[in-house]
Amino acid sequence: MMKEITIGQAQRLTAPAPFGLLSTRREDGSTNLMAISWWTYLTNHPPMIGVALSKKGLSGSRIEATGEFGLSVVGEELKEAALRCGACSGRTVDKAAQFGIPLEAAAQVAPEVVSGSRVVFECRLAGQAEAGDHVLYLGEVVALRGDESVRQLFAYDGYARLDTV
Ligand SMILES: Cc1cc2nc3c(=O)[nH]c(=O)nc-3n(C[C@H](O)[C@H](O)[C@H](O)COP(=O)(O)O)c2cc1C
């Protein structure tokens, strides 16, 4: 029988959520990685995705400053390292270097992307909308690569756990 629930409980009930590492270019030119589960497809023509980012973190301000971002849907070998990208800020930590996450140049955008991913989206900022304490950034996909042999990680239990399905 259904009962009233909170938005947090709804998110747990609808897990697993798709997961990725969002990359942006830091001021010093290096790449910042942020754990993200609130991303979604928006349209196919042109291909666009949306990412909802808290106003508190570094990544949203870097998207606004540079007009671009990458989204790497990473594989199971990054289960622990990718989770750590959700527990600290690129303001103080070079996450890729510190957590040993391999990066490579993107084809069309400045921030690097995660090597060996299942899918990598390269996006140009096409618009944004305020949504409470988050901002929804709309990204037009300008390059797209994938490898179906990589097992995708999903988010379970809010920010607590990543796993394959
Ligand atoms: C599994 C997981 C999913 C997350 N999803 C989001 C998300 O969709 N939006 C968001 O703003 N933060 C999300 N976070 C939290 C950010 O990754 C975290 O606030 C991070 O420290 C921000 O990094 P930055 O300051 O380098 O941008 C998630 C964290 C985890 C562990």
Residue 116 lies in a domain: yes
Token duo for residue 163? 């796993």
Q: Is the pLDDT of residue 65 over 90?
A: yes
pLDDT in tens, 76-105: 999 999 999 999 999 999 999 999 999 999
Q: Is the pLDDT of residue 112 over 90?
A: yes
CA 66 centroid distance within chain? 16
- pLDDT for 88 equals 97
Compute the average pLDDT of residues 28-54: 98
Q: State pTM to two decimals.
A: 0.98
Nearest atom in ligand 1 to the alpha carbon of residue 158 is 1
Roughly how many angstroms between the first and final C-alpha of the chain, as a whole number?
A: 26
Determine which residue's CA is closest to atom 8 belonging to ligand 1: 38
Residue 1 lies in a domain: no
Q: Which residue has the tokens 């570094």?
A: 58
- pLDDT for 95 equals 98
Give me the domain span that covers residue 117: 7-163
Residue 125 lies in a domain: yes
- pLDDT for 19 equals 98
Kindly list the protein residues whose Cβ atom lies closer than 6 A to any atom of ligand 1.
19, 32, 34-38, 52-54, 57-59, 83, 86, 88-91, 155, 159
Contact 155, 15 (CB under 8 A): yes
Residue 2 lies in a domain: no
Residue 44 lies in a domain: yes
Determine which residue's CA is closest to atom 7 belonging to ligand 1: 36
Tally of domains in the chain: 1
Q: What percent of the chain has pLDDT over 90?
A: 98
**Candidates 11, 12, 26, 37: which one to mutate for ligand 1, based on the most atoms within 8 Å of Cβ?**
37
**SS3 of residue 149 by DSSP:** coil
CATH code at position 48 = 2.30.110.10
- pLDDT for 158 equals 87
Q: Which of these, 27, 103, 36, lies nearest to 66 by C-alpha position?
A: 27
Count CA atoms within 13 Å of residue 67 on its CB side. 3
